[in-house]
Amino acid sequence: MSVDAINRALATVIDPELRLPLTELDMVGEVSLVGREASVQIKLTVVGCPASARIERETREAVLKVDGVDSAKVTLSVMTQTEREALKIKLRNGKPPRFNPFGKDSLTRVFLIGSGKGGVGKSSVTANIATALALNGHRVGLVDADIFGFSIPGQLGLTDRPTRVDEMILPPVSASGVKVISIGMFLEDSKPVAWRGPMLHRAIEQFLCDVFWGDLDFLLVDLPPGTGDVAISLGQLLPTAKTVVVTTPQIAAAEVAERSGSVGLQTGQPVFGVIENMSWLIQPDGSKLELFGAGGGASVAQRLADISGQRVELIGQIPMSIALREGSDAGKPIVVSNVADPAASAIMEIAKKFAAAKIGLAGKPLGISPS
């Protein structure tokens, strides 16, 4: 029974936004133990930190678990500017401010998820794949780059705005642990945004550089439908990215999807694969009703393979699912809310293929030198 034991307990308390133990974030101030009464001072990063109530509660719970502690007093205060500067330098791993952590040496696997046509279920599929990867223990970030039709926060049940620590932006974290950033989180009301190329580029650059992502295994980017400015900006900012094209089985949709994939090829992003969504509806008798026809996904994959001269896989086919639609409306992805649904199993298989993807090593030094 000692102050050391209390500090060990505090190392188990994780800051919900920064996703690191309070002790590593230098958020623990004075710790004392008088008799069986513990007092702990916690220094929050910013005034009015939205996570403060949770941090206070989890700190108290952790301290009360220590042998010999009967009561725990938690005092909250705020870091000084000097302490905050030191923390920011630590969080950036010594990198300068505005550093793009997803440059060509990054170990994060980056996927740009696009479609040609709108409404093919790209955002729902992306939100679910991100969630499935997080549930499998990966560190996942998700950027909603659909500036005009952002929908990811709603699909993942996020209403929080990002906390700012000076110029550093802390992304809200979904219930399954996905760090999410969307333009929707920065708008005062839900007014439509009429931004042009340069502003879009700056917004996306900020999403990548000013947000504290920490070390990520995966970064998924939900692209706006169609092709254009956003894809070109992302191509520059995310040099290791691979594109994934979402389409429906319909041949007309497939043709548009193919065009979006081939623009990616022109801007230098290899195609990782194609996902066919809304492939069929399973009837009460178990048979598959192909509402939108068949073959769209396979045809896009084949054509993109022909154009690129590389193998392009049909990564998976996701059936129509009422539970999927309800889940995305309610902010509870189907891979959490209804794992037995065939659409959920299809998405989990797709997530496994993402997880098996190799990091693009093109242009990376091998670290060997002539002797």
Q: Rule CB under 6 A: which residues touch ligand ATP?
A: 115, 118-124, 146, 149, 151, 225, 277-278, 318, 320-321, 324-325, 328, 343
- By a kind-dependent CB cut-off of 5 to 8 A, residue 118 interacts, out of Mg ion, ligand ATP, none, with ligand ATP
Q: How far is the CB of 326 from ligand ATP (least distance, A)?
A: 8
Q: How far is the CB of 179 from ligand ATP (least distance, A)?
A: 20
Whether 156 contacts 331, CB under 8 Å? yes
Q: How far is the CB of 327 from ligand ATP (least distance, A)?
A: 8
Chain centre distance of CA 355: 14
CA distance 164 to 333: 27
CA distance 320 to 83: 52
Q: Which residue is nearest to Mg ion (CB)?
A: 123
Instruction: By CB under 5 A, tell whether 123 contacts Mg ion.
Output: yes
- By a kind-dependent CB cut-off of 5 to 8 A, residue 278 interacts, out of ligand ATP, Mg ion, none, with ligand ATP
CA distance 4 to 286: 61
Chain centre distance of CA 238: 15
Pick the piece of the chain touching Mg ion (CB under 5 A) from 69-77, 144-152, 166-174, 330-338: 144-152
Angle, helices 342-355 vs 122-135, to 10°: value is 70
Residue number, 59 or 131, with CB nearest to ligand ATP: 131
Q: How far is the CB of 147 from Mg ion (least distance, A)?
A: 11
Neighbours of 357 (CB within 10 A): 15
- By a kind-dependent CB cut-off of 5 to 8 A, residue 120 interacts, out of Mg ion, ligand ATP, none, with ligand ATP
Q: How far is the CB of 256 from Mg ion (least distance, A)?
A: 15
Chain centre distance of CA 258: 25
Give the three-class secondary structure for 285.
coil
Residue number, 10 or 320, with CB nearest to ligand ATP: 320
CA distance 161 to 140: 18
Angle at 179 between CA 175 and CA 182, to 5 degrees: 110
- By a kind-dependent CB cut-off of 5 to 8 A, residue 261 interacts, out of ligand ATP, Mg ion, none, with none
Residue number, 123 or 227, with CB nearest to Mg ion: 123
Instruction: By CB under 5 A, tell whether 247 contacts Mg ion.
Output: no
Structural tokens at position 303: 């054509």
Contacts with Mg ion, residue ranges (CB under 5 A): 123, 151
